[in-house]
Amino acid sequence: MDDTDFRDPDALLARAGVGGNPDRDQHFLVDDRVLDRVPTYATEIDADLGHVLEIGAGTGALTDRLLAVAGHVTAVERDPDLAAFLREEFAAEIDAGRLTVLEGDALAVELPEFTASISNLPYGISSEITFRLLPHGVPLVLMFQREFAERMAADPGTEEYGRLSVTAGHYADIEVVEPVPEAAFRPPPAVESAIVRTTPREPAYEVPSDEVFMDLVKAIFTQRRKTMRNAIRNTGHISGLDDPDAVVDAAAEDLMSKRAGDVTPAEFAKLAQLAVEVGDP
């Protein structure tokens, strides 16, 4: 479909009678070139686009482009006025059974089964919504603050590497596929943005359970400046370990001398297994 067939994002804003509200985390993506590229990050990996979930549909500029490549789109929008606008603007697509507008908070509504999510996320809920989507095991193409995106994709030993890197990477390969300048939005946010693509896959290690693994990673990164030995001992109230000393004693000495930012996901997985065996979580 040629881009001239798409609704103009500025015209959508005008018809909706909105200009965006930073206080409500509303920054509308209006750059046609960026909007056109967003769905391609899913099509180029042959993602199943039978049912695409869009979080934070706004006035529908991205929705319009998703409808060109998806079998069905469910657009989630928490603003009642914008949800009403979407139902009016896309009435033909709704009547044809190709679009569902779901009004409500994406963290609270019951999400449908979906095969991919392509979304310009409200940045205030980036972390919470990402970890609601990742366990579904489907491809995601999501817009984030650039700093958040880079932390999500960071490798061990880098300054950006942290809890977010480990937990996101547990579910998928993470790529920052495009930086997006402030001028691409209306109103412009105070930070640069970036598009992230996640490709689901099984981790290259085994964990006793996602819960034990995630709790341990969360606990240790609260004390990322300390050695692993001290971080484990100091955070039993977060990790749920009744006997953190037993985990320290059972772990390899070189691992206990590291700091969290240098510990690989596979090493965290080994610690999680030790936590079950001797730490009594």
For the stretch 145-193, pLDDT in tens is 999 999 999 999 999 999 999 999 999 999 999 999 999 999 999 899 9
**Residues in CB range of 14: below 8 A, 6 or more apart:** none
Domain co-membership, 187 together with 219: no
Annotated binding site: 27, 29, 56, 77, 105, 120
d(CA 202, CA 221): 23
Tens digits of residue pLDDT in 184-221: 999 999 899 999 999 999 999 999 999 999 999 999 99
Q: Is residue 26 part of a domain?
A: yes
Domain co-membership, 30 together with 77: yes
Domain co-membership, 33 together with 164: yes
What average pLDDT does the segment 2-20 reach? 86
Domain co-membership, 75 together with 150: yes
Annotated binding site for S-adenosyl-L-methionine: 27, 29, 56, 77, 105, 120
The domain boundary, picked from 200, 227, 246, lies at 200
Q: 173 is in which domain, residue-wise?
A: 3-200
Domain co-membership, 196 together with 242: no
Tens digits of residue pLDDT in 85-121: 999 999 999 999 999 999 999 999 999 999 999 999 9
Ranges of H-type helices in 44-193: 61-67, 80-89, 91-95, 126-133, 146-152, 163-171
Tens digits of residue pLDDT in 52-88: 999 999 999 999 999 999 999 999 999 999 999 999 9
Domain co-membership, 24 together with 149: yes
The domain boundary, picked from 177, 200, 223, lies at 200
